[in-house]
């Protein structure tokens, strides 16, 4: 009996010893499997978005930024009088009572979101209630302080903070960084317990992206596009400004636009970046690329002559006419064909060039392919495969039967402006790493050389003639004090719902660069379906002039004037009567025989243009003789011209007269002080943010917008 008792005692002792040892093992020694099990049972994480990196313009101004916001959640089990709480929340959150009450009425639940991304004032008011079971967690919300500025390019985010369009989509992995998480503990049954909204950051914020865009130039472009859409009752308008030397995008816009802070309710058509995604027939702006290709391949020279059939030319089974019945041209040089925008002249150049070389030239200038711009949705455009029937080749020569994006056309003109190199356009200037601070800058990428510098000089000179010659179609694109080179375009609009073209519906455009003697800005604008006039010369050229004028003056580029001695020198060189003014409105246009009485008629008051050649010692230049581009101001469009530099033109700085009214300096003023400063000036103010003024659009000192509206950004 005694031995049994001892045995039982020892057995119990051993058993308890084993249990104690096992408990100690589980309690004190690490065990990955048990730790993971404990984490799953007693902890949970709620994923929140990290602070997204800012997007700024080339001057460091905020275009997209992340502001503090608060998300509201509840532990229904801890809530008292849930119906009363739901009523209070519905009132302050502007939500339906039933919607909120359905979330919190179940007292067995331990965690539920009430609303994400609350404004700070609402969050502070709810926090002041000090309700048990209601808590807030800090998150980040995307804010676009300029509202509509650069809307289609910037893009916007979805409700979960993911990029949906534009730069927000294309650079989403770089901007968003990694995610933040809220750690919540669970009870024994696995139900979440509120932990006072405690957050911890596991990864750094998103990176900062700086653009090549200038906010002031962007604002001007958008304002002018809006004005032309309104004035001509157009469907929409697009515009782009490139750095002539690098193809960096300085401004890019579509009108109408939209408020990025309210993007959810906007139609896809308004949100689309039409400069990159939409293609259309470019019209006569294509003649520049045709002539550039023919010049490059040695098929023509600026002085080469073509007979333009007096306004009617049969190609295959079709008859080609000029833009208007009044236009009945005879012999024209290539320079004159470009200046007067002759369809028949362009057709003859294309037929002489041939379909193989013409198509390859268009491809070389970047048409029919993606350029690789750092924006989503880039379209290729259409350059049809060979063979081309003669009538199709004729159509393509003046911009029909082919399609391109505004970006492609602008970039092709940039190749001419910069001396013959086709670059890849880009909109991101640099990316700054938020953790290391390392700055990665975008390098200019040259795709290929499309023509020599001498050939590009000749093309710039001929494009200068389009705006300078009295017969030129681009006279309305002139900017006083500056040399402008460019080409008008008017294309009948293709019927998207069927074959053929839409009757009476056009796309009016202008492509060019300024200053012509040292190009800095390449600008392309197009107006879709204007109803009060439709010629590119009437609709798009003045729009180009307004944007170009602001660009050169903002950049501080000095105007140029021609000295009297230089004018007389050029009169002697080209054999004009010394009594004729170098800027005479009836400057001559010469036919193939250098006759003294050629005709050229243009729409809107075309007049007979006569040439007066001095007798005796007068000796006009030979057809292929190169003379300075200033001769173009004398009307000698049949002579090859040289730009830049424009020989014989003295660049005399001219102090531009200040605008009649400029934007006042409102920096660091309170709202009350702002109103006091602009009192009595009939200025409309649009406020963004809170605090003192940190920035205005347009900037202080810039010309006052026509509608006298200033966006005031407060921080």
Greatest extent of the chain over all pairs of C-alpha atoms, in Å: 154
Distance CA 582, CA 576 (A): 9
| pLDDT level of residue 327 (50, 70, 90 thresholds) | confident
Q: In terms of Cα–Cα distance, which of 488, 496, 492, 490 is closest to 472?
A: 488
**DSSP string for 232-282:** TT-SEEEEEEEETTT-BEEEEEEES---GGGGGGS-HHHHS-HHHH--B--
Q: Same CATH fold, 215-555 and 45-211?
A: no
| Span 594-607, average pLDDT | 31
Of the chain, the percentage scoring pLDDT greater than 90 comes to 47
pLDDT for the residue 503: 84
| Span 596-620, average pLDDT | 30
pLDDT for the residue 430: 96
β-strand pairing of 55-56 with 62-74: antiparallel
Question: Which single residue is written with the structure tokens 């409105």?
Answer: 585
**DSSP string for 184-237:** EEE-TTS-EE--TT-EE--S--PPEEEES--HHHHHHHHHHHHHHHHHTT-SEE
pLDDT for the residue 634: 35
Distance CA 622, CA 637 (A): 13
Distance CA 258, CA 655 (A): 38
For residue 658, is pLDDT > 60? no
C-alpha triplet 47, 52, 55: angle, nearest 5°: 165
Q: In terms of Cα–Cα distance, which of 171, 158, 165, 154 is closest to 206?
A: 171
Local structure of 93: helix, strand or coil: helix
For residue 599, is pLDDT > 90? no
For residue 391, is pLDDT > 50? yes
Radius of gyration for the alpha carbons in the chain, expressed in angstroms and rounded: 35
Local structure of 66: helix, strand or coil: strand
Name the residue with higher pLDDT: 234 or 194: 234
pLDDT for the residue 588: 31
| Span 679-690, average pLDDT | 76
What confidence tens digit (pLDDT) does each residue in 103-159 have? 888 877 778 888 877 877 888 888 888 888 888 877 778 899 999 999 999 999 887
Peptide bond into 645 cis (omega under 30): yes
pLDDT, the chain, mean: 80
| Span 641-657, average pLDDT | 38
For residue 594, is pLDDT > 80? no
Q: For the purposes of burial, counting CB atoms within 10 Å of the CB of 558, is it exposed (0-12), middle (13-18) or buried (19 or more)?
A: middle
Q: What are phi and psi of 336, to 5 degrees?
A: -70, -35
Q: In terms of Cα–Cα distance, which of 275, 281, 236 is closest to 376?
A: 275
Spatial strand order of the sheet with 693-697 comes to 684-689, 709-714, 693-697
Q: Report the chain's terminal Cα–Cα distance, integer Å.
A: 91
User: pTM surpassing 0.85?
Assistant: no
For residue 9, is pLDDT > 90? no
| pLDDT level of residue 657 (50, 70, 90 thresholds) | very low
Highest mean pLDDT: which range of 292-296, 464-468, 610-614: 292-296
pLDDT for the residue 137: 79
pLDDT for the residue 667: 85
pLDDT for the residue 178: 67
Q: Which residues neighbour 83 within 8 Å (Cβ) at sequence distance 6 or greater?
A: 101, 105
What confidence tens digit (pLDDT) does each residue in 156-170 have? 988 778 899 999 999
pLDDT for the residue 309: 93
What tokens were used for 673? 């002080």
For residue 597, is pLDDT > 60? no
| Span 81-101, average pLDDT | 86
Q: Which of the four CATH numbers 3.40.50.1110, 3.40.710.10, 1.25.40.10, 3.20.20.140 does domain 215-555 have? A: 3.40.710.10
β-strand pairing of 236-243 with 331-333: unpaired
Highest mean pLDDT: which range of 39-53, 518-532, 558-572, 606-620: 518-532
Instruction: List beta partners, residue 16.
Output: none
pLDDT for the residue 610: 25
pLDDT for the residue 554: 93
Q: What are phi and psi of 23, to 5 degrees?
A: -65, -40
pLDDT for the residue 577: 34
The helix or strand, by DSSP H or E, that contains position 13, with its residue range, turns out to be helix 2-28
Distance CA 139, CA 47 (A): 10
For residue 624, is pLDDT > 70? no
Distance CA 312, CA 317 (A): 13
What tokens were used for 406? 């505004």
| Span 674-692, average pLDDT | 76
Q: In terms of Cα–Cα distance, which of 654, 427, 667 is closest to 556?
A: 654
What confidence tens digit (pLDDT) does each residue in 276-285 have? 999 999 999 9
pLDDT for the residue 611: 28
Annotated domain spans of the chain: 2-30, 45-211, 215-555, 671-714
| Span 20-47, average pLDDT | 67
- CA distance to 15, 346, 383, 610, per residue, from 238 (Å): 86, 26, 22, 39
| pLDDT level of residue 460 (50, 70, 90 thresholds) | very high
Q: How many helices (H) and strands (E) does the chain have?
A: 21, 25
Q: Which of the four CATH numbers 3.40.50.12160, 1.20.58.1610, 3.90.1310.10, 1.25.40.10 does domain 45-211 have? A: 3.90.1310.10
pLDDT for the residue 113: 82
pLDDT for the residue 132: 82
**DSSP string for 147-189:** TTTTHHHH--B-TTS-B-SHHHHHTHHHHH---EEEEEEE-TT
Name the residue with higher pLDDT: 372 or 28: 372
Name the residue with higher pLDDT: 712 or 612: 712
Distance CA 344, CA 613 (A): 28
- The CB-side HSE value for 405 (13 A sphere, CA atoms) comes to 25
* Residue 284 DSSP symbol: G
The helix or strand, by DSSP H or E, that contains position 680, with its residue range, turns out to be none
Q: What are phi and psi of 466, to 5 degrees?
A: -60, -35
| Span 251-279, average pLDDT | 92
Distance CA 73, CA 536 (A): 58
For residue 526, is pLDDT > 70? yes
Name the residue with higher pLDDT: 33 or 286: 286
For residue 514, is pLDDT > 70? yes
Distance CA 143, CA 67 (A): 6
pLDDT for the residue 469: 85
Peptide bond into 256 cis (omega under 30): yes
pLDDT for the residue 175: 92
What tokens were used for 693? 């003024």
């Amino acid at each position: 009996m005694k031995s049994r008792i001892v045995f039982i005692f020892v057995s119990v002792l051993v058993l308890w010893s084993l249990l104690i040892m096992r408990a100690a093992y589980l309690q004190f020694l690490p065990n990955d499997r048990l730790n993971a099990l404990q984490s799953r049972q007693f902890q949970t994480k709620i994923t929140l978005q990290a602070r997204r990196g800012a997007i700024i313009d080339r001057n460091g101004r905020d275009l997209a930024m992340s502001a503090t916001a608060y998300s509201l959640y509840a532990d229904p089990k801890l809530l008292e009088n849930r119906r009363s709480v739901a009523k209070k929340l519905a009132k302050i959150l502007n939500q339906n009572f039933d919607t909120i009450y359905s979330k919190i009425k179940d007292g067995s639940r331990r965690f539920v979101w009430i609303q994400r991304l609350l404004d700070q004032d609402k969050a502070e008011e709810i926090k002041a209630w000090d309700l048990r079971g209601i808590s807030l967690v800090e998150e980040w919300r995307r804010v676009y302080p300029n509202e509509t500025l650069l809307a289609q390019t910037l893009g916007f985010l979805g409700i979960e903070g993911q990029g949906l369009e534009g730069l927000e989509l294309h650079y989403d992995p770089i901007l968003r960084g990694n995610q933040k998480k809220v750690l919540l503990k669970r009870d024994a049954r696995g139900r979440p317990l509120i932990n006072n909204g405690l957050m911890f950051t596991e990864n750094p914020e998103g990176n900062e992206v700086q653009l090549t865009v200038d906010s002031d130039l962007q604002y001007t472009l958008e304002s002018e596009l809006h004005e032309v859409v309104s004035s001509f009752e157009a469907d929409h308008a697009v515009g782009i400004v490139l750095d002539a030397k690098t193809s960096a995008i300085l401004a890019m816009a579509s009108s109408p636009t939209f408020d990025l802070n309210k993007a959810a309710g906007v139609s896809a058509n308004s949100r689309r970046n039409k400069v990159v995604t939409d293609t259309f027939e470019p019209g006569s702006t294509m003649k520049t690329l045709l002539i550039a290709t023919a010049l490059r391949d040695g098929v023509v020279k600026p002085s080469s002559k073509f007979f333009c059939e007096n306004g009617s030319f049969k190609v295959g089974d079709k008859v080609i006419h000029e833009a208007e019945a009044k236009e009945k041209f005879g012999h024209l040089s290539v320079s004159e064909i470009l200046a007067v925008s002759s369809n028949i002249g362009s057709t003859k150049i294309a037929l002489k060039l041939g379909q193989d070389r013409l198509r390859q030239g268009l491809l070389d200038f970047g048409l029919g392919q993606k350029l690789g711009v750092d924006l989503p949705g880039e379209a290729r455009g259409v350059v049809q495969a060979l063979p081309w029937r003669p009538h199709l080749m004729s159509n393509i020569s003046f911009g029909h039967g082919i399609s391109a994006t505004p970006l492609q056309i602008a970039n092709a003109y940039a190749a001419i402006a910069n001396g013959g190199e086709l670059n890849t356009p880009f909109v991101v200037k640099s990316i700054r790493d938020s953790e290391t601070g390392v700055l990665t800058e975008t390098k200019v990428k040259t795709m290929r050389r499309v023509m020599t510098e001498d050939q590009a000089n000749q093309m710039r000179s001929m494009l200068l003639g389009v705006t300078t010659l009295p017969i030129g179609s681009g006279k309305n694109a002139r900017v006083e004090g500056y040399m402008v080179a460019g080409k008008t375009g008017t294309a009948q609009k293709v019927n998207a719902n069927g074959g053929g073209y839409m009757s009476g519906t056009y796309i009016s455009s202008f492509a060019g660069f300024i200053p012509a003697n040292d190009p800095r800005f390449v600008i392309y604008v197009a107006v879709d379906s204007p109803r009060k006039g439709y010629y590119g010369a009437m609709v798009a050229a003045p729009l180009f002039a307004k944007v170009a004028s602001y660009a050169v003056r903002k950049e501080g580029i000095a105007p140029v004037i021609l000295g009297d001695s230089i004018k007389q020198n050029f009169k002697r060189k080209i054999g004009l009567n010394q009594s004729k003014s170098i800027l005479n409105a009836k400057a001559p246009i010469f036919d193939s025989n250098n006759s003294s009485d050629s005709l050229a008629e243009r729409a809107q008051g075309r007049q007979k243009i006569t040439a007066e050649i001095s007798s005796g010692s007068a000796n006009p230049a030979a057809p292929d003789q190169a003379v300075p581009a200033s001769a173009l101001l004398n009307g000698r469009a049949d002579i090859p011209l040289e730009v830049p530099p424009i020989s014989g033109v003295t660049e005399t700085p001219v102090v531009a007269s200040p605008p009649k009214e400029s934007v006042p300096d409102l920096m660091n003023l309170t709202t009350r002080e702002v109103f006091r400063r602009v009192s009595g000036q009939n200025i409309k103010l649009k406020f963004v943010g809170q605090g003192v003024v940190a920035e205005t659009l347009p900037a202080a000192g810039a010309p006052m917008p026509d509608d006298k509206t200033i966006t005031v950004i407060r921080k």
